[in-house]
């Protein structure tokens, strides 16, 4: 495959992945497309066969870290895929192809090596130097250190020094602290063997269980700046409330007579107060009642909140004797004609 192909073809689009896709995503996308476009699955379909070849070419480049870096460099240099004329057929002097341009610059003559110049391989130009080395020498910058083009192609300056290493840490907070935001103290080990240090970090309001919070400049120092600290937050469960986005959910126990006859009961809220809620007569176990604006605060700068959903749970007494038993037996006789399972067997057979 020639550099002209590299300059013109968007291998990421061919595979249907983003430019920052990792190796696993690239491989998964290739397998999915190859399975769909394989000639055995599309006998006699020339278009599918051509696309199958293109997918294979794209995967061959993007699955190789070195070739992928070189490909990204070439695409960046030509503005993401500028088209060059092939230079054949008696075209104008300025219409040389991309391979011809770089091939001529590096003393290879028109067209470069057969099949296109391959940078970073033993058969490449200038004794097999990397793409960065070739361009660095061409523009008077000397060799380029691994990791990118040194200061652009115009010799604007040395390569940007690397930042310090990012570090990982974890923090365990209570349910309430996660909702309100909290400053935590983290013991961060030094991967280089140095002493651990304490970092104070302010977790954002409303942080969720399992969320990663990036703390800028809290990692290791380096010549190009300080790295970041990635904190994985673990939120302890609350004994009453459960979070559902900006809403809260809880279970409200009610007695048998409250559910049957109806009642007004006290319901606790997250801020420590209680509100009086009417449970309608005949409320079954499992029904949810909505308390508007009693959920999670949506943002620090807003007073808007989610809602609190209260799920009714009818509590059955564990011991029934004496007058209580007589009352329940009387209730059973009075409601003997009501079958709560009426039609259940028929619905099960449908």
Place of tokens 């126990």: 253
Q: Are 252 and 278 part of one and the same domain? A: yes
Domain that holds residue 56: 3-77
The dihedral over CA atoms of 27, 32, 37, 42, expressed in degrees to the nearest 10, equals 140
User: CA 310 from chain center: how many Å?
Assistant: 32
Tens digit of each residue's pLDDT (9 = 90 or more) over 293-304:
999 887 766 678
- Quick check: is 69 in a domain? yes
The dihedral over CA atoms of 212, 216, 217, 222, expressed in degrees to the nearest 10, equals 80
- Assign 3-class secondary structure to 121-179: CCCCCHHHCCHHHHHHHHCCCCCCCCCCCCCCCCCCCCCCCCCCCCEEEEEEECHHHHH
Number of domain units in the chain: 3
Which pLDDT score is estimated for 272?
A: 87
Residue at a domain's end among 235, 256, 273: 235
Q: Are 211 and 266 part of one and the same domain? A: no
Contacts of 68 (CB under 8 A, 6+ apart): 61, 62
Q: In this structure, are residues 167 and 227 in contact, taking their beta carbons and an 8 Å threshold?
A: yes
Q: What is the CATH number of the domain that holds 185?
A: 2.60.260.20
Tens digit of each residue's pLDDT (9 = 90 or more) over 235-266:
999 999 999 988 999 999 999 999 999 999 99
Q: What is the CATH number of the domain that holds 34?
A: 1.10.287.110
Q: In this structure, are residues 275 and 295 in contact, taking their beta carbons and an 8 Å threshold?
A: no
Predicted confidence (pLDDT) at residue 208 exceeds the cutoff of 80: yes
Tens digit of each residue's pLDDT (9 = 90 or more) over 274-331:
999 999 999 999 999 999 999 988 776 667 889 999 999 999 888 888 888 888 889 8
Q: In this structure, are residues 268 and 259 in contact, taking their beta carbons and an 8 Å threshold?
A: no
- Our separate counts of H helices and E strands in the chain read 11, 11
């Amino acid at each position: 495959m020639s550099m002209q192909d590299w300059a013109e073809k968007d291998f990421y689009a061919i595979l249907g992945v983003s430019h920052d896709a990792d190796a696993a995503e690239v491989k998964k996308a290739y397998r999915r497309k190859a399975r769909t476009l394989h000639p055995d699955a599309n006998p006699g379909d020339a278009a599918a066969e051509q696309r199958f070849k293109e997918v294979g070419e794209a995967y061959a480049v993007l699955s190789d870290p070195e070739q992928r870096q070189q490909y990204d460099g070439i695409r960046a240099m030509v503005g993401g895929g500028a088209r060059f004329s092939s230079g054949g057929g008696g075209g104008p002097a300025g219409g040389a192809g991309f391979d011809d341009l770089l091939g001529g610059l590096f003393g290879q003559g028109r067209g470069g090596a057969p099949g296109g110049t391959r940078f970073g391989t033993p058969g490449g130009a200038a004794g097999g130097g990397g793409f960065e080395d070739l361009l660095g020498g061409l523009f008077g910058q000397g060799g380029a250190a691994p990791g990118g083009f040194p200061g652009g192609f115009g010799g604007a300056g040395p390569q940007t020094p690397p930042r310090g290493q990012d570090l990982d840490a974890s923090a365990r907070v209570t349910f309430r602290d996660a909702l309100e935001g909290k400053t935590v103290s983290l013991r961060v080990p030094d991967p280089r063997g140095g002493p651990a240090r304490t970092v104070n970090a302010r977790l954002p309001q409303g942080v969720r269980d399992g969320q990663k919070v990036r703390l800028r400049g809290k990692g290791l120092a380096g010549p190009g700046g300080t790295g970041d600290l990635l904190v994985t937050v673990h939120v302890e469960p609350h004994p009453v409330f459960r979070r559902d986005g900006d809403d809260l959910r809880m279970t409200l126990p009610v007695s048998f007579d409250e559910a049957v006859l109806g009642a007004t009961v006290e319901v606790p809220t997250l801020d420590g107060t209680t509100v009086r809620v009417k449970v309608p007569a005949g409320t079954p176990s499992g029904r949810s009642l909505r308390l508007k604006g009693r959920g999670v605060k949506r943002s620090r700068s807003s007073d808007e909140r989610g809602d609190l959903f209260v799920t009714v749970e009818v509590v059955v007494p564990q011991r029934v004797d004496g007058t209580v038993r007589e009352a329940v037996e009387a209730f059973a006789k009075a409601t003997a004609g009501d079958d709560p399972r009426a039609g259940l067997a028929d619905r099960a057979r449908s």
